[in-house]
């Protein structure tokens, strides 16, 4: 993942619960 994408993802994930972040990250990993 390009570093800019990670910064954007970080800016989005800070508003979500740990459980939701885990789901989002799992789906990102599956898509790669």
pLDDT recorded at residue 20 = 94
The C-alpha angle with vertex 12 and arms to 11 and 16, in degrees rounded to 5, equals 120
Q: State residue 4's pLDDT score.
A: 66
pTM of this prediction? 0.66
- Measured CA to CA, the distance from residue 23 to residue 3 in angstroms comes to 21
What is residue 32's three-state secondary structure? coil
DSSP label at residue 14: T
- Those residues with Cβ within 8 angstroms of residue 12's Cβ, 6 or more apart along the chain or in another chain: 24
User: What is the pLDDT tens value at each position of the chain, 32 positions in all?
Assistant: 666 677 788 888 888 999 999 998 899 888 87
Q: What pLDDT score was predicted for residue 2? A: 64
Phi, psi angles (nearest 5°) of residue 2? -65, 150
């Amino acid at each position: 993942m390009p570093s800019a994408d990670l910064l954007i993802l970080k800016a989005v994930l800070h508003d979500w619960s740990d459980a939701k972040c885990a789901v989002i990250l799992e789906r990102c990993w599956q898509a790669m």
